[in-house]
Amino acid sequence: AQRALEICINICIDIGNHIVSLNNTEKPETFSDVMKILAKHKVISEELSTQLIKMVRFRNFLGHFYLEIDNEIIYNILQKNIKDFSSFKEAILAKFKGNLLENSEKEDST
């Protein structure tokens, strides 16, 4: 479960980084900055940004202290925060669905 949580957080970071780089907005200095920039540009809500920043910080903790992590902590995070990953996905799809469809139509016509 610990590794799965880390992968989910990494996916949010990677997608966020990709969006930020495509839009040539500010350059994030940290992974937490990625979430702040997404919220600033209304890609995700401030509330979701705050939750994802907590996840990013926890991911950093996991990377350094993985042997010390209590499985109950992982379980509690997954129980309370698993919806944040779905919320992130929905926010991204809602924001970029039209763009994704336009891009796929352009690719189909070439």
CA–CA separation, 75 and 106 (whole Å): 44
pLDDT averaged per 10 residues in sequence order, the chain, 110 residues: 88 95 85 95 95 93 77 86 94 81 48
Task: Tell me how long the chain is.
Answer: 110
Q: What is the pLDDT of residue 25?
A: 67
- Inter-helix orientation angle 46-65/2-22, to 10°: 130
CATH code where residue 33 lies: 1.20.120.580
- The values of phi and psi at residue 25, to 5°, are -85, -160
Could you give the number of structural domains in the chain?
Answer: 1
Range of the domain at 84: 2-109
CA–CA separation, 1 and 8 (whole Å): 11
